[in-house]
Structure 1
Amino acid sequence: MKHTNYPYFDFLEFDPEKRANPSERSLWIAEKPEGGTTNENGEVEFTVPFSCQKNENNIEKKQGVDRQLQKLKLTAYGENVLRLSLGEVYPDSPMLSKDLETRRGPLFLEQEEDIWTIRDDATNTKGEIDFAEELISHWSDLLPPPQDALKATFYPKGSSVVSIQDYDQFFPARREAFSLAYITGEEGEIQQTYISIKATHKERFCGTGERFSKMDLSGKTFWLKNQDAQGTNNKRAYKNVPFYISSEGYGLFLHTSYEAKISLADHSSRSVQLLVSEPRLDVFFIGGDSPAEILYAYRQLTGFPSLPPLWSFGIWMSRMTYFAANEVMEICERLRAEDFPCDVIHLDTGWFRTDWLCEWRFHPERFPDPKGFVQELLENGFRLSLWQMPYIAEEAIQLQEARENNYIGPRKSTGLQGGSNFSALDYAGTIDFTYTAAKKWYQDLLKELLEMGVACIKTDFGEEIHMDATYKEMDAKGLANLYGLLYQEAAYEVTQDISGEGIIWARSGWAGCQRFPVHWGGDAAASWEGMAGSLKGGLHLGLSGFGFWSHDVPGFHGVPDFMNSVIPDDLYVRWTQFGVFTSHIRYHGTSKREPYSFPGISEIVKRWWHLRYALLPYILESSIQTTNSGLPVLRGMLLHFPDDHACWHIDDQYFFGDAFLVAPMLTSEDCRDVYLPEGSWVHFFSGKQTEGPRWLKNHKEELADMPVWTKEGAKVPLNPKKVNHTGEIDPEKTLELKIGENFKGIWYWMEKNQFANG
């Protein structure tokens, strides 16, 4: 649809050609409440009238149409969360923590003529409904007065203020936003709901999922619809999360799994606007004195990340794909022989009888003894990770069983596109994880592999499902975004049950998926732009509740030749450095990724791999912190310096745990600008001290080093000796490195401890 520059037709997506026939869809806008009460659950309920509007540029009431009365409910959870809901909310949402109801607190309504006040049991003001008349100095009757409108302000915590108000306009009928609204279809049923939040001219926003965008998202509109993003440099997203953080001291979680649209001061710079494609509206306003506190409260709502096992923090080696057991063993033997530490070997699409034909069974000739193969890997310190997907192929041996038992959603059409378009549409059906029997059937397929000793399942795809299918407990529109959560939960649960270790390797995501780590950033181009886009995605994902995140080093696919373009040496090294300072590090892509395949830089890479293993005690310490706080391992600068305006705009450097400030090299020029916030900073490789705040313009680093600083006085636990894998790390021998005047750089420390080569 072409832009009209009117909210009716652009943000709400009414068809401007159908103005003469407005019966197809109708907009209903909230007016001031007509009644309010505190119910038996300690929630405040309002009776709110909604008036029908004309389908025109000028937004005016449609005459002769009765208003509709709806119930609007406000609920409090703890000290800093308020829930505003219109319509029936999900009674048993998989997105929400199971203990949410234990934190519910009572609210009380006080009604006066000009204002209704909502308080908690400590008499804190939690909300106000404004009935006061606007101050008017009458001069002209040229234009009619504005419509009656709902004006409400909520205070989830202290100074955190969230206002929904209607007067975002040029003149009364030329409105850019509405406080609360819904849209009905031809039969009068509610199809979409809408809310807008007042925005200020200085407000900044972050979050909304794995967004490959600038740090400050103000002035942008996003469709919250999961899809195969096919890279990290576009508006598509594998992981959408209906949650954002505002620099004004609040977060907003839109509790839905349906497609939604969010304008962060874009369609109107005075409003955040949310449109969700379902008949209910359920939003949580989260207050906090810092973004980290807001994230903590969001995780209280949707779940905290669990702690992955220690071995998962080691090096993962993969490509698309290894095809045989002897090929894998040769790679493992060479990694060990050439002193490259490694913990995980990943088999991608080639371990089946036919490449990409997912049947959860090893090829009988190329992998003649799967159990022996897995055990031999384990004896040499390698865990095995396996690729699979949640779709059943037309040629799969399980297809008939899946169809007969409705383990895949029955489809209206069975047409296949053919070939691999990296899409659900290539396959005969989607496993129905809303159906308990189908979930168990899938888990039994994995159970046989896990009992062999397989350590991790790569839960690839899941962003898209067959929309023409019928699913047991949800309609396809409600399931599509939520599918990744149900899929990943199934694989995570059976892995934990069999191995005692909770881990998957996942690509899709939605609210709540952070409970099941680890997630990686998808199919980035092996280019500087792909690396920069990956970092942006990881930063926003960390600001959306996720704690553990990775990316394919040094990018997944070649450019311009998808399968065969040569990876530049400097890109391989710089992406390795970025990976060392990420919660998890995996090498993967469409061509060779093993470091010895890059002889010109393999010794540099080896040194960085050993640094990774030296840092593992610190990474584990930071990871434990991630599981019980609001902090991810890889953190946007604003999480540590929320009052520093520059940090709300920096998307190419980050904090790695508490101690490290990391600025990856994102070009082949070996120099970049770096911002050091307030404090004393020590360069991690040279030991040079610098005072902040300041910009380091054109800061240069040779290929073997990286722009990384630590806080002066930081204490960094390190593993002091070389190992081949994490099983050789002795936690009793961990050393604490204090960063101070006598620190001469990490390479000096490692050489002193006879750790690194070169």
Structure 2
Amino acid sequence: MKFSDGYWLTRDGYDINTPKEAYDHRIDGRSLTVYGPVKAIQKRGDTLDTRMLTVRFSSPLEDVIRVQVFHFKGRIDNKPGFELRMTDVKPLITEDAEALIFQSGSLSVNVYKNGWGYQFSRAGRKLTESSPNSLAYITTEDGRTFMREQLDIGVGETIYGLGERFAAFVKNGQSVDIWNKDGGTSTEQAYKNIPFYLSNRGYGVFVNHPELVSYEIGSEVVSKAQFSVEGESLDYVIIAGGEPKDVLSRYAQLTGKPALPPAWSFGLWLSTSFTTDYSEETVTRFIDGMKERDIPLSVFHFDCFWMKEFEWCNFEWDERFFQQPQAMLSRLKEKGLKICVWINPYIAQKSKLFQEGKENGYFLKNDQGDVWQWDRWQAGMAIVDFTNPKARDWYCSKLEHLLNMGVDCFKTDFGERIPVDAVYFDGSDPEKMHNYYSFLYNKTVFDLLKEKRGEQEAVVFARSATAGCQQFPVHWGGDCFASYDSMAESLRGGLSLSLSGFGFWSHDIGGFESTASADLYKRWTAFGLLSTHSRLHGSESYRVPWLFDEEASDVMRYFVKLKHRLMPYLYAAAYEAHKEGIPVMRAMLLEFPEDRTCDWLDRQYMLGGSLLVAPVFQENGAVSYYLPKGTWTHLLTGKETEGGEWKEEQYGYMGLPLFVRENTLLPLGNVSDRPDYDYLDGVTFCLYHLKDGCSAEQAVYNVNGESMTIRAVRNQNTITVNSTGVQKKWKLILRNHPPVSSVINGAAEALQEGTGIRPKEEQRDVVIFF
């Protein structure tokens, strides 16, 4: 939201009040409070009839500083609020002649004593600053009030995140409203709005408000990241880190780390699609068709019309097409499949559940006490009130019945079009609940799955989100079109979401709206199966590959099996996301923060820390991509190339730029027909271009908690390999490696077979068994 008219003037109808000096302060053990009147105080009379802002600095985590600004503190703090995980931090509070200094770990804020303003620094290096006239309390002619902050954007500084945004990847120059909307992937609207941005300077800013937060990122004042909220207070958090990954890790520690999705969820999901005709016969035909073509399938998803039209949601199978649903699910599960069904948090008036929900007060109400209803999406639909514990239990009882039938997980669709004129059971502020509703909705379903299926089996396929929803994976990108443009915007959205703290992300392979050409479908297949989660889903047409052409089946088979072989690596990256909050799909700047070219890259990404993926976005197979400095090896061809420059190449449908970073131990599993297997049994570690004086380390985890870590160290022409953890047979391959005279195992207990292997000097690929 913009308040100024150019640099010098204020827009009509607004009055901007900014602190003029740090008039007084108070130190209260672990916080520093500074008082800033909006006019300079030169005599006693100046203290009368004026406004004053109260600014409190505290630290919820080490290297994190919270800033709370108040005009009137007496306002009731209505629910809801984000759940912050705070620790017992003892900050250092000092002062010198020029500033009050509040320090948490390596992060400090210096509050100027003369005049007004404060600067955030890490280890003595400036990160950003609130300059004079940046912090403001704003009033309007119609009685509304706003709090605004402006933080410096330095020369060359770039800003990312703010949720799953499909416009430009770098947010500089954009106006962004944090307000969930069902707008598809081709506008500035977003399903997942997160009030957190990340800077390439090694810090992030989280605005701790679930309601509308309005950002002007270098758009109202080109050198400022501005954010504002309506009301009498502002609460934001500065998070510092040596690298952007450290910032994301601390943000996840503060707002919640992602759960670890079950291994089977990383396999291929196939859907009925949305408005197509389907029955058990159709479903079985598609599943058998995949098996006949040797395309491994892990999950089958039933979309909306598994329930009868006009009755969403009644949570009952449409008996016209599914006469014996439980028997059908048993037959499908005998084929080795997991089952997902579509749900949303709405109850149509024709649903048999409507009257039950109305009588028991389970729905949102209007201010007259009636059920809040409208005709968008479903005729006369009501919205479940998840602030009511009994409503949550009622909703979960319907889902539990489906779980008992054999359903394994749910696609938690919708949750964005939440009214701001509704009344909640617990009195929650409807403005704050608009975005936050997605948290309660997905948490309710995810917690049920944890309770009934176990923590290691819980997974949803969610569309809407707010801060904290990263705890409930997986999220997918929503309604994209069948075009290369939409494929590229989907990737931008996914990378923005990953830089907003979300560890897992998916999208509709081939696009949701309309039907892709065979060419686009095959290109999107490679991209989709090199994402954390992979789903075939559409709107008016089916997405099985042979309906495009038979080569599409070959492409699908190839990349599904490749993903399964990569599962020891992918599951280790998922484990890192779960433990550390580092996303699996990573914008290039996360792994190469020192490379300024990577600041702008939005058509390629790192899958985990070692694999670079650049999807093909052109019909002729041409692709332009950038390799950072170092030696890179193409995973599929073995071709070695030097980085530090842009590359332009052409690829067939069985390939794309997929490169392994130097000094990498890449684990490959020995199973290609399913994603969930024993990753430690017979795993092959491929060692790529280990440089002299460098080391490479890779951990492999199993679902049952077993783990093994391999570490290789090169000292001139000798590579020493150590294995710790669970000991099973494994194999080491030196891929495209500078010649070495010996490979020795430094952990004798790990040696299973083979010892003292000495490859010849001229050998480039050496296989060693342990």
Considering the TM-score relative to the shorter chain, is it more than 0.5?
yes
Write the distance in 2 (CA, Å) between the matches of 1:691 and 1:179.
46
**Secondary structure at 2:363's aligned position in 1?**
coil
Post-superposition Cα deviations, 1:68-112, rounded to whole Å, max 9, x if no partner, equal 234211002333100000236979865334x41x24323424364
The change in CA–CA distance for 1:201 and 1:728 in structure 2 (over 3 A counts) is: closer
The change in CA–CA distance for 1:455 and 1:658 in structure 2 (over 3 A counts) is: same
> Residue 552 of structure 1: CA displacement?
0.4
The correspondence for 2:251, drawn from 284, 292, 298, is 298
Output aligned runs, 1:652-667, within 5 Å. 652-667=603-618
Name the % identity.
31
Output aligned runs, 1:648-727, within 5 Å. 648-697=599-648, 699-723=649-673, 725-726=674-675
2:319 counterpart residue number: 364
The change in CA–CA distance for 1:687 and 1:307 in structure 2 (over 3 A counts) is: same
The change in CA–CA distance for 1:82 and 1:3 in structure 2 (over 3 A counts) is: closer
The correspondence for 1:520, drawn from 476, 487, 491, is 476
Post-superposition Cα deviations, 1:256-308, rounded to whole Å, max 9, x if no partner, equal 11111111112111211111123321110111111101111111110111100
Q: Does 1:200 align with 2:184?
A: no
1:440 counterpart residue number: 393
What TM-score do you get using the length of structure 1 for normalisation? 0.84
The correspondence for 1:105, drawn from 90, 94, 105, is 90
Which deviates more from structure 2 when the two are superposed, residues 213-222 or residues 481-490?
213-222
1:44 counterpart residue number: 32
Q: Does 1:131 align with 2:113?
A: yes
Is the contact made by 2:508 and 2:535 (CA closer than 8 Å) also made in structure 1? yes
Q: Which amino acid aligns with 2:32?
A: V
The change in CA–CA distance for 1:28 and 1:426 in structure 2 (over 3 A counts) is: farther
Is the contact made by 1:73 and 1:85 (CA closer than 8 Å) also made in structure 2? yes
The change in CA–CA distance for 1:418 and 1:615 in structure 2 (over 3 A counts) is: same
> Residue 329 of structure 1: CA displacement?
2.0
Write the distance in 2 (CA, Å) between the matches of 1:388 and 1:427.
17
Write the distance in 2 (CA, Å) between the matches of 1:289 and 1:266.
27
The correspondence for 2:290, drawn from 329, 332, 335, is 335
The change in CA–CA distance for 1:93 and 1:392 in structure 2 (over 3 A counts) is: closer
Q: Does 1:165 align with 2:131?
A: yes
The change in CA–CA distance for 1:74 and 1:623 in structure 2 (over 3 A counts) is: same
**Secondary structure at 1:77's aligned position in 2?**
coil
Post-superposition Cα deviations, 1:193-238, rounded to whole Å, max 9, x if no partner, equal 11111222321111111111333221111111110122x2211111
Q: How many aligned residue pairs are there?
A: 677
Write the distance in 1 (CA, Å) between the matches of 2:374 and 2:439.
26
The correspondence for 2:566, drawn from 615, 623, 647, is 615
> Residue 685 of structure 1: CA displacement?
1.9
Is the contact made by 1:264 and 1:271 (CA closer than 8 Å) also made in structure 2? yes
Is the contact made by 2:310 and 2:379 (CA closer than 8 Å) also made in structure 1? no
What TM-score do you get using the length of structure 2 for normalisation? 0.83
Write the distance in 2 (CA, Å) between the matches of 1:400 and 1:291.
51
**Secondary structure at 1:458's aligned position in 2?**
strand
> Residue 45 of structure 1: CA displacement?
1.2
Gaps of 5+ in 1: 20-24, 53-62, 133-148, 167-177, 559-565, 746-752, 754-758
1:411 counterpart residue number: 366
> Residue 522 of structure 1: CA displacement?
0.5
The change in CA–CA distance for 1:612 and 1:265 in structure 2 (over 3 A counts) is: same
Write the distance in 1 (CA, Å) between the matches of 2:376 and 2:240.
49
Q: Does 1:531 align with 2:515?
A: no
> Residue 613 of structure 1: CA displacement?
1.7
> Residue 706 of structure 1: CA displacement?
1.0
Q: Which amino acid aligns with 1:325?
A: E
**Secondary structure at 1:206's aligned position in 2?**
strand
> Residue 184 of structure 1: CA displacement?
3.6
Is the contact made by 1:571 and 1:668 (CA closer than 8 Å) also made in structure 2? yes
Post-superposition Cα deviations, 1:663-707, rounded to whole Å, max 9, x if no partner, equal 10011121121111011001122211111101113x111222111
The correspondence for 1:155, drawn from 121, 129, 138, is 121
> Residue 731 of structure 1: CA displacement?
4.7
1:585 counterpart residue number: 534
2:230 counterpart residue number: 277
Write the distance in 2 (CA, Å) between the matches of 1:333 and 1:151.
67
Post-superposition Cα deviations, 1:582-605, rounded to whole Å, max 9, x if no partner, equal 000000001110112223322222
> Residue 607 of structure 1: CA displacement?
1.7
Output aligned runs, 1:48-87, within 5 Å. 48-50=36-38, 66-87=49-70
Write the distance in 2 (CA, Å) between the matches of 1:283 and 1:466.
26
1:376 counterpart residue number: 331
Write the distance in 2 (CA, Å) between the matches of 1:386 and 1:666.
31
> Residue 427 of structure 1: CA displacement?
4.8
Q: Which amino acid aligns with 2:286?
A: I
1:140 counterpart residue number: none
Write the distance in 2 (CA, Å) between the matches of 1:34 and 1:2.
29
1:312 counterpart residue number: 265
Write the distance in 2 (CA, Å) between the matches of 1:109 and 1:226.
42
The correspondence for 1:624, drawn from 575, 584, 604, is 575
Write the distance in 1 (CA, Å) between the matches of 2:120 and 2:37.
20
Post-superposition Cα deviations, 1:565-588, rounded to whole Å, max 9, x if no partner, equal x42111111100001110000000
Write the distance in 2 (CA, Å) between the matches of 1:74 and 1:742.
53
Output aligned runs, 1:714-753, within 5 Å. 714-723=664-673, 725-726=674-675, 731-739=680-688, 743=735
Is the contact made by 2:567 and 2:679 (CA closer than 8 Å) also made in structure 1? no
The correspondence for 1:604, drawn from 545, 550, 555, is 555
Output aligned runs, 1:200-219, within 5 Å. 200-219=154-173
Write the distance in 1 (CA, Å) between the matches of 2:285 and 2:736.
39
Is the contact made by 1:156 and 1:286 (CA closer than 8 Å) also made in structure 2? no
Q: Does 1:634 align with 2:585?
A: yes
**Secondary structure at 1:261's aligned position in 2?**
strand
1:561 counterpart residue number: none
Post-superposition Cα deviations, 1:539-577, rounded to whole Å, max 9, x if no partner, equal 11111100000000011011xxxxxxx421111111000
Post-superposition Cα deviations, 1:157-198, rounded to whole Å, max 9, x if no partner, equal 5535331012xxxxxxxxxxx32112346696x732111112
Post-superposition Cα deviations, 1:704-755, rounded to whole Å, max 9, x if no partner, equal 21111111342222222442x345667523332334597489xxxxxxx9xx
Q: Which amino acid aligns with 1:374?
A: L
Write the distance in 1 (CA, Å) between the matches of 2:392 and 2:36.
42
**Secondary structure at 2:319's aligned position in 1?**
coil
Q: Which amino acid aligns with 1:405?
A: N
The correspondence for 1:548, drawn from 504, 527, 537, is 504
Q: Which amino acid aligns with 1:126?
A: S
Q: Which amino acid aligns with 1:193?
A: M
The correspondence for 1:245, drawn from 186, 194, 198, is 198
Is the contact made by 1:210 and 1:239 (CA closer than 8 Å) also made in structure 2? yes
Is the contact made by 1:680 and 1:712 (CA closer than 8 Å) also made in structure 2? yes
1:172 counterpart residue number: none
Write the distance in 2 (CA, Å) between the matches of 1:295 and 1:674.
25
Q: Which amino acid aligns with 1:552?
A: D
Write the distance in 2 (CA, Å) between the matches of 1:709 and 1:695.
14
Write the distance in 2 (CA, Å) between the matches of 1:322 and 1:386.
16
The change in CA–CA distance for 1:427 and 1:297 in structure 2 (over 3 A counts) is: farther
The change in CA–CA distance for 1:396 and 1:111 in structure 2 (over 3 A counts) is: farther
Is the contact made by 2:80 and 2:429 (CA closer than 8 Å) also made in structure 1? no
**Secondary structure at 2:625's aligned position in 1?**
strand
Question: RMSD between aligned alpha carbons?
Answer: 2.8
2:442 counterpart residue number: 488
Write the distance in 2 (CA, Å) between the matches of 1:433 and 1:414.
14
Write the distance in 2 (CA, Å) between the matches of 1:380 and 1:64.
78
Write the distance in 2 (CA, Å) between the matches of 1:337 and 1:44.
68
Is the contact made by 2:296 and 2:560 (CA closer than 8 Å) also made in structure 1? yes
**Secondary structure at 1:242's aligned position in 2?**
strand
Q: Which amino acid aligns with 2:197?
A: Y
> Residue 621 of structure 1: CA displacement?
1.3
